[in-house]
Amino acid sequence: MIENHLPTAELQRLDAAHHMHPFTHGDALAEKGARIITKADGVFLTDSEGNEILDAMAGLWCVNIGYGRKELAEAAYRQMLQLPYYNTFFQTSHVPAIELAARIAELAPGDLNHVFFAGSGSEANDTNLRMVRQYWAMMGQPDRQVVISRWNGYHGSSVGSGSLGGMKFMHEQGGMPIPGIEHIDQPDWWSEGGDMTPEAFGIARARALEERILEIGADRVAAFIAEPVQGAGGVIVPPETYWPEIKRILAKYDILFVADEVICGFGRTGNWFGSQTYDLVPDIMTIAKGLSSGYAPIGASVVSDKVAGVIGKGEFAHGYTYSGHPVAAAVALENLRILDEEGIVERAGSVTAPYLGAKWNSLTDHPLVGEARICGLMGSIALTPDKARRAPFAADKGTVGLICRERCFANNLVMRHVGDRMIISPPLTISEAEIDLLIERARLSLDEALDIVN
């Protein structure tokens, strides 16, 4: 273990001076300094001051298998010695990419039998954007170019995937969205459902897709992309009526469906894929994160026989230097082996999810918590000053979610906030005792946030 490092204050100074962070305010970084994580094991992180922190976010929703699995390090080591790099361009291949593609095809639902590798979820969604358009061009319908997605969905941070996403604060910077992408409203009943029942609201928000298709003209729409459960948008678990109605609409107008499973994949919703949890039949599935449990950067588009059959008739002029990187592929293969052979996905769905779900839902008895939502091992709570009216906080209270997240940090718990929603997505390997600790620290942090807000 590498334990030797500079003192925390010096690391923080160097970090603020030289390291530009994603999604971080530069002033805040300079003022307070970053929390520096030095090692991790199981569900716990250790920071440079020696604090042990329960990571209820599995990093960025990715360390499904938990930290510290030596088998993955050994797989990387062996592969680096054997073949550290080769590409998959120009009709070449290598063993890890072949084996991983075959294994993903085995695990994926339906006829998703073809894998186009990328280095990340963003890259994979960029691939998808080009692939669905190319599919229709090759089908003799080149006008089918528009991709519909949802406000507050997240599909990545590159220009293409950031445009597919519906994060308005991201669109304000750097000229997004690019043309040819349309957004419809999300199925977030708590914030946007008004007087409707969740069921009626689910139907209404699905019908927004049909309305938009008719506005654009079905013969101009290539695809609809969505996360089975919106993750970064705040773990928005849709009403039960939503997905069946979306499926009906997509079939009616023959629109391709891209299920972004970057978060939902590999056990997060209690099944291998969120598409199984919601009985969806994607034409393309985006995967990343849990594919390697974050131990190596890798993503992919998992493509149906229908789409791959057409794309494969020509040369798809697209690819990344690290498409199918052998070390990342070897790590992912080992990760999938462990997830499967140790029954981690199975246990997450049948044992851990019900236990966590009951504990998580019990938080609704807290005065700050309006609703709790959870699907498998991804959950959120909505903070509110008035549960009955589902009211937001007055502006002078600041972002209460941020206050709560700061209290969580102080109590050695990583929970993330999205506005005034607190979210969790712990490693699938979290034990019942660790879930109890998570809930205990969450309650303490909520109590402290309540004292600050009042």
In the complex with ligand PLP, the residue whose CB is nearer, 210 or 283, is 283
In the complex with ligand PLP, the residue whose CB is nearer, 176 or 288, is 288
Contact string (CB under 6 A) for ligand PLP, positions 424-453, x = contact: ------------------------------
In the complex with ligand PLP, the residue whose CB is nearer, 299 or 370, is 299
Q: Kindly state whether residue 227 participates in binding ligand PLP, applying the rule CB under 6 A.
A: yes
Element (H, E) at 369: strand 369-375
Tell me the residue type at 434. Answer: E
Answer for the pair 166, 172: CB distance below 8 angstroms, yes or no.
no
Q: Kindly state whether residue 232 participates in binding ligand PLP, applying the rule CB under 6 A.
A: yes
H-type alpha helices, 301-366: 305-311, 326-341, 344-347, 353-361
Identify the residue among 66, 96, 121, 324 touching ligand PLP (CB under 6 A).
121
In the complex with ligand PLP, the residue whose CB is nearer, 122 or 384, is 122
Match 């998992």 to its residue by tokens.
Answer: 302
Interacting stretch for ligand PLP, rule CB under 6 A, among 170-178, 256-264, 397-405, 411-419? 256-264
Q: Kindly state whether residue 299 participates in binding ligand PLP, applying the rule CB under 6 A.
A: yes
**Helix orientation angle between 70-82 and 326-341, rounded to the nearest 10 degrees:** 150
| DSSP 8-state code for residue 291 | G
CA 264 – CA 231 distance, rounded (Å) = 8
The least distance separating ligand PLP from the CB of residue 154, rounded to whole angstroms, comes to 5
Answer for the pair 152, 230: CB distance below 8 angstroms, yes or no.
yes
CA 313, 316, 317, 321 dihedral sign is negative
Match 């604060």 to its residue by tokens.
Answer: 169
Strands 44-47 and 37-41: antiparallel
Contact string (CB under 6 A) for ligand PLP, positions 57-96, x = contact: ---x------------------------------------
The least distance separating ligand PLP from the CB of residue 448, rounded to whole angstroms, comes to 28
Q: Kindly state whether residue 260 participates in binding ligand PLP, applying the rule CB under 6 A.
A: yes
Q: Total number of residues binding ligand PLP (CB under 6 A)?
A: 16
Element (H, E) at 46: strand 44-47
Q: Kindly state whether residue 162 participates in binding ligand PLP, applying the rule CB under 6 A.
A: no
HSE at residue 60, side-chain half, CA atoms within 13 A, is 14
Q: Kindly state whether residue 325 participates in binding ligand PLP, applying the rule CB under 6 A.
A: no
Interacting stretch for ligand PLP, rule CB under 6 A, among 176-184, 210-218, 235-243, 257-265? 257-265
In the complex with ligand PLP, the residue whose CB is nearer, 263 or 422, is 263
| DSSP 8-state code for residue 183 | E
**Helix orientation angle between 432-453 and 353-361, rounded to the nearest 10 degrees:** 20
Q: Kindly state whether residue 155 participates in binding ligand PLP, applying the rule CB under 6 A.
A: yes
Q: Kindly state whether residue 154 participates in binding ligand PLP, applying the rule CB under 6 A.
A: yes
Identify the residue among 97, 222, 235, 263 touching ligand PLP (CB under 6 A).
263
Identify the residue among 229, 288, 446, 450 touching ligand PLP (CB under 6 A).
288
CA 77 – CA 81 distance, rounded (Å) = 6
CA–CA distances in Å: residue 136 to residues 124, 131, 144, 315:
19, 9, 6, 15
Residues of the shown chain interacting with ligand PLP in the complex, contacts defined by CB under 6 A: 60, 120-122, 125, 154-156, 227, 231-232, 260, 262-263, 288, 299
